[in-house]
Amino acid sequence: MDKALCYVVREGRLLVFRHTDYSHEEVGIQVPGGSVRPGEDPADAALREAREETGLTGFTVVRELGEVEYDISPLRFEVQRRHVFELAVNGAPPERWAGREDHDGEREPTRFECFWIPLEAAHVLQSGQGALVGRLFD
């Protein structure tokens, strides 16, 4: 299963979110990301997922940081191939805001609280999402 993960970096900070409908213990802190659709370029998927989950626009791909495999069992018995991208965002996004993903109307929207953390704190990301954060310092 191909996934795209987004490290959106601004002024030495990383854009993250938490699900507001689940406890922190259940889902932790995450970066924007999601499935690469059939025939979709992973970079395009990263830009789409960043827009969908944050509600912001004006994202650009800075560079591809690499790929990493992650086994998300036992949540689902699935090994994900994650394409990780560094993104920039234009403008001056807020410090903290509500985001939501509508899932093309196929199910109830997922609600998020989006905010920024220092890059040095990215070790708190859940489910191996921080695996390539060190490459941001290259």
List the domain boundaries for the chain.
Answer: 2-137
Query: Measured at the alpha carbon of residue 126, what is the angle toward residues 20 and 9, in degrees to the nearest 5?
Result: 85
Q: Specify the higher pLDDT residue, 75 or 66.
A: 66
Residues 6+ apart with CB under 8 A from 13: 116, 117, 118, 119
User: What confidence score (pLDDT) does residue 108 get?
Assistant: 87
Write the CATH number of the domain with boundaries 2-137. 3.90.79.10
Q: What is the mean pLDDT of the chain?
A: 93
pLDDT confidence of residue 62: 98
Does this model's pTM top 0.85? My answer is yes
Per-residue model confidence as pLDDT tens digits over 19-68: 898 887 878 899 999 999 999 999 999 999 999 999 999 999 999 999 99
